[in-house]
Amino acid sequence: MAPLGLVPARACAALFSPLLRPPRAVRARAVRSHSQVAGAVLTSQVKPDQKKSNFIIKTPKGTRDLSPQQMVVREKILDTVISCFKRHGAKRLDTPAFELKEMLTEKYGEDSMLIYDLKDQGGELLSLRYDLTVPFARYLAMNKLKKMKRYHVGKVWRRESPTIVQGRYREFCQCDFDIAGQFDPMIPDAECLKIICEILSGLQLGHFLIKVNDRRIIDGMFAACGVPENKFRAICSSIDKLDKMSWNDVRYEMVTKKSLAPEVADRIGEYIQRCGGVSLIEQLLQDPRLSQNKQILEGLEDMKLLFEYLTLFGIADKMSFDLSLARGLDYYTGVIYEAVLQTPSQTGEESLSMGSVAAGGRYDGLVGMFNPKGQKVPCVGLSIGVERIFSIVEQRMKVSDEKVRTTETQVFVATPQKNFLQERLKLIAELWNAGIKAEMLYKNNPKLLSQLHYCENTGIQLMVIIGEQEMKGGVIKLRSVASREEVAIKREHLVAEIQKRLSDS
Amino acid sequence: MAPLGLVPARACAALFSPLLRPPRAVRARAVRSHSQVAGAVLTSQVKPDQKKSNFIIKTPKGTRDLSPQQMVVREKILDTVISCFKRHGAKRLDTPAFELKEMLTEKYGEDSMLIYDLKDQGGELLSLRYDLTVPFARYLAMNKLKKMKRYHVGKVWRRESPTIVQGRYREFCQCDFDIAGQFDPMIPDAECLKIICEILSGLQLGHFLIKVNDRRIIDGMFAACGVPENKFRAICSSIDKLDKMSWNDVRYEMVTKKSLAPEVADRIGEYIQRCGGVSLIEQLLQDPRLSQNKQILEGLEDMKLLFEYLTLFGIADKMSFDLSLARGLDYYTGVIYEAVLQTPSQTGEESLSMGSVAAGGRYDGLVGMFNPKGQKVPCVGLSIGVERIFSIVEQRMKVSDEKVRTTETQVFVATPQKNFLQERLKLIAELWNAGIKAEMLYKNNPKLLSQLHYCENTGIQLMVIIGEQEMKGGVIKLRSVASREEVAIKREHLVAEIQKRLSDS
Residues A378 and A423 in one domain: no
Residues A500 and A426 in one domain: yes
| B406 in a structural domain | no
* DSSP3 helix / strand / coil % (chain B, rounded to 5): 45, 20, 35
CATH number at residue A164: 3.30.930.10
Inter-chain touch B97–A97, beta carbons under 8 Å: yes
Q: Quick one: closest CA in B to A430, which residue?
A: B313
Residue A14 has pLDDT above 60, yes or no: no
- What total number of domains does chain B contain? 2
The range of the structural domain enclosing residue A236 comes to 9-400
Please check whether residue A36 touches B, CB under 8 A: yes
Residues B367 and B450 in one domain: no
What b/e sequence results for B330-366 when a residue is b if at least 16 CB atoms lie within 10 Å of its CB, and e otherwise?
bbbbbbbbbbbbbeeeeeeebbbbbbbbbbbbbbbbb
Q: Kindly report the nearest CA distance between residue B91 and chain A, in angstroms.
A: 5
Confidence label for A40 from pLDDT (cuts 50, 70 and 90) = very low
pLDDT tens for B146-201 read: 999 999 999 999 998 764 344 579 999 999 999 999 999 999 999 999 999 999 99
**Positive or negative CA dihedral for B359, B377, A422, B285?**
positive
Q: Quick one: closest CA in B to A437, which residue?
A: B87
B57, B86, B429 member nearest A314 (Cβ): B429
Of A400, A432, A456, the residue that ends a domain is A400
Please check whether residue A87 touches B, CB under 8 A: yes
Chain B residues touching residue A55 (CB < 8 angstroms): 100, 102
Please check whether residue A47 touches B, CB under 8 A: yes
Residues A303 and A335 in one domain: yes
Q: Specify the length of chain B in residues.
A: 505
- Residue A405: CB atoms within 10 Å: 13
Asked whether B126 and B117 are in contact (CB, 8 A), the reply is yes
| A48 in a structural domain | yes
Q: Kindly report the nearest CA distance between residue A178 and chain B, in angstroms.
A: 14
Q: How far is CA B384 from the centre of its chain?
A: 4
Residues B459 and B368 in one domain: no
Confidence label for A225 from pLDDT (cuts 50, 70 and 90) = very high
Q: What H or E segment, with its residue span, contains residue A252?
A: helix A247-252
Q: Letter for the amino acid at A321?
A: F
Give the DSSP letter of residue B482: T
Please check whether residue A317 touches B, CB under 8 A: no
| B309 in a structural domain | yes
pLDDT tens for A88-128 read: 999 999 999 999 999 998 888 878 899 999 999 988 999 99
- In Å, how far are A272, A276, A361 from A239, measured between CA atoms? 9, 18, 16
Per-residue pLDDT, B320: 96
Per-residue pLDDT, B74: 96
Per-residue pLDDT, A300: 96
Confidence label for A244 from pLDDT (cuts 50, 70 and 90) = confident
Residues B335 and B421 in one domain: no
Closest CA to B193 of B357, B323, B276, B310: B310
Residues A352 and A500 in one domain: no
Inter-chain touch B408–A102, beta carbons under 8 Å: no
Spatial separation of the C-alpha atoms in residues B9 and B41, rounded to whole Å:
51
Mean pLDDT of A5-31: 36
Asked whether B192 and B360 are in contact (CB, 8 A), the reply is yes
| A37 in a structural domain | yes
Sequence-distant (≥ 6) Cβ neighbours of residue B97 within 8 angstroms: A97, A128, A155, A157, A171, B128, B129, B154, B155
Residues B295 and B200 in one domain: yes
Spatial separation of the C-alpha atoms in residues A80 and A86, rounded to whole Å:
10
A118, A184, A422 member nearest B312 (Cβ): A422
Spatial separation of the C-alpha atoms in residues B450 and B320, rounded to whole Å:
58
CATH number at residue A481: 3.40.50.800
| A405 in a structural domain | no
Give the three-state DSSP class for A9.
Answer: helix
Q: Letter for the amino acid at A71?
A: M
Checking phi first, is residue B439 left (phi over 0); if not, alpha (psi -120 to 50) or beta?
Answer: beta
Q: Kindly report the nearest CA distance between residue A162 and chain B, in angstroms.
A: 12
Inter-chain touch A123–B61, beta carbons under 8 Å: yes
Inter-chain touch B53–A102, beta carbons under 8 Å: yes
Asked whether A307 and A213 are in contact (CB, 8 A), the reply is no
Spatial separation of the C-alpha atoms in residues A30 and B230, rounded to whole Å:
41
| A2 in a structural domain | no
| A1 in a structural domain | no
Least confident of A335-349, B66-80, B83-97: A335-349
Closest CA to B492 of B445, B434, B448, B439: B434
**Among A164-173, B23-32, B404-413, which range has the highest average pLDDT?**
B404-413
Residues A266 and A122 in one domain: yes
Angle made by CA atoms B368, B116, B238, in degrees to the nearest 5: 65
Chain B residues touching residue A436 (CB < 8 angstroms): 87
Spatial separation of the C-alpha atoms in residues A167 and A378, rounded to whole Å:
35
* Surface of B (453-472) touching A: CB under 8 A: 458
Spatial separation of the C-alpha atoms in residues B275 and B297, rounded to whole Å:
17
Spatial separation of the C-alpha atoms in residues B51 and A28, rounded to whole Å:
48
Of A400, A432, A461, the residue that ends a domain is A400
Residues B348 and B489 in one domain: no
| A406 in a structural domain | no
Residues B217 and B322 in one domain: yes
Please check whether residue B405 touches A, CB under 8 A: no
Per-residue pLDDT, B55: 64
Residues B299 and B387 in one domain: yes
Of A400, A421, A441, the residue that ends a domain is A400
Higher pLDDT, A490 or A344: A490
Asked whether B213 and B336 are in contact (CB, 8 A), the reply is yes
pLDDT tens for B3-18 read: 333 334 433 333 333 3
Residue B59 φ/ψ, nearest 5 degrees: -90, 160
What b/e sequence results for A209-222 when a residue is b if at least 16 CB atoms lie within 10 Å of its CB, and e otherwise?
bbbbbbbbbbbbbb
Closest CA to A428 of A449, A411, A407, A451: A411
